[in-house]
Amino acid sequence: MPLILVVLYGAALYALIQVSARSSRRPDTKPGVYQPMEPPSKAVISDRANLIRNDPFKADLGITISTLYDLDLAAGSYYAEGTAWLKYQEVPAWLENWDPEIYAAPVQTIAFTNVVDRQDFNQEPEPSIPDTDDDGRKIHWLEFSGRFVASESDLDLRLFPFETITLPITLELGDFYVGEAEVAHRQSGPILTAPPKINGYSCEQSAVKPFMHVYDTNWGFEYARNYFGKQDHSEFIAFKVETVFRRNAWNSFFNIFLPLIIVMVVVIAAPLVAVQDYQTKLAIPASALLVLVFLQDGYKKILPPGLNYPTLADLVYIYNMLITIVVFLWSLIQTKLYFAAQATGAQAQQITSAGALDNQFFAITLAFSVLGPVLFYASCKRPRPSDR
């Protein structure tokens, strides 16, 4: 019997770990792919492209975030306010032919590509025209506010309720291909000017990463094919502000796992109840199973609906539900054997035998109840192929 129990618990662990390991993220639906910044290829066949590349727009870019709050995990969106700025010496003459408005105020080339609702998004230059700083360079600010959306890879909830998430704000210079401008991130002071207000999370860090946003289209612009030497291809200068948050571990433990531990202590101890008290022996796991269902429903309300992978909490709860079912079936079998022995007059012998088996069952179940969450945590924390 102990061997059968070990095999049963081992099979449940293996099955749940395989479910976690084989689950994959949905691909991001927004067009384009972010890649590390690289210079464009030299296969350029356009004199116009060579002229522009030899006279790029040179500027420094900075950003501050004054407000970051109202995270909606179900929608993957959050609200942010802040200011971006560009500082430059001069604007190349070719830009005036391309877009006179950008030539007059280059800061307006900044586009926020992960905005949720454009109609409610505010983006205003301040002041209306660039200012000349004391160092002789021009500087222009762009104030923004609105809701942003994070990709599924940024909101990876596999380790819920101990997950770390990233809330990004992505800026793209929509009027400059890679190589047409040399824009470097030059931060002045901290990125976050006030502590973010995301309930249940603590802010770990905030950083700006330069990228190039690669699109598999040129939007019908023949110049792009000549510039990059590729068909249906374009690359834009982009910056990604990543603010990393970690869920409060102690708060998560007390709210989600401590009630589970309390229930499971009672369930695992149920086999130690004497077989003569069979009503209690059967009632404990049956009642506990209902409690586990309600506890799981409570934390499920925090998570987005339709996740295509199980979270750590899902694996732990499902595993403990399986343990509870096994305890119930074990108690049912012991009760049936007890009544069978009572009918044949071997009641005393059955009580002694059941007590020894119950002790073994208790020890094995306790060991696997501790081993399971440890293995699930390691499985959820293991990098996925898309992380590497």
Distance CA 168, CA 150 (A): 6
Domain range list for the chain: 2-22+250-387, 33-247
Instruction: Read off the pLDDT of residues 291-317 as tens digits, 9 standing for 90 and up.
Output: 999 999 999 988 888 888 899 999 999
**pLDDT classification of 318: cutoffs 50, 70, 90:** very high
According to the model, what pLDDT value does residue 26 have?
Answer: 44
SS (H, E, C) the chain: CHHHHHHHHHHHHHHHHHHHHHCCCCCCCCCCEEEECCCCCCCCCCHHHHHHHCCCEEEEEEEEEEEEEEEECCCCEEEEEEEEEEEECCCCCHHHHHCHHHHHCHHHHEEECCECCHHHCEEEEEEEEEEECCCCCEEEEEEEEEEEECCCCCCCCCCCCCCEEEEEEEEEEEEEEECCEEEEECCCCCCECCCCECCCEEEEEEEEEEEEEEECCCCCCHHHHHHHCCCCCEEEEEEEEEEEEEECHHHHHHHHHHHHHHHHHHHHHHHHCCHHHHHHHHHHHHHHHHHHHHHHHHHHCCCCCCCCCCCHHHHHHHHHHHHHHHHHHHHHHHHHHHHHHHHHCCHHHHHHHHHHHHHHHHHHHHHHHHHHHHHHHHHHHCCCHHHC
According to the model, what pLDDT value does residue 130 have?
Answer: 92
Instruction: Read off the pLDDT of residues 236-292 as tens digits, 9 standing for 90 and up.
Output: 999 999 999 999 999 999 999 999 999 999 999 999 998 888 899 999 999 999 999
Instruction: Read off the pLDDT of residues 190-232 as tens digits, 9 standing for 90 and up.
Output: 999 988 888 889 999 999 999 888 889 888 888 888 788 788 8
**pLDDT classification of 88: cutoffs 50, 70, 90:** very high
Given CATH 2.70.170.10, say whether it is the number of domain 33-247.
yes
Inform me whether the pLDDT recorded for 337 exceeds 90: no
Long-range CB pairs of 221-227 (<8 Å, 24+ gap) are 223/46, 223/48, 223/49, 224/177, 226/44, 226/45, 226/46, 226/48, 226/49, 227/40, 227/44, 227/46, 227/49, 227/177, 227/179
According to the model, what pLDDT value does residue 31 have?
Answer: 47
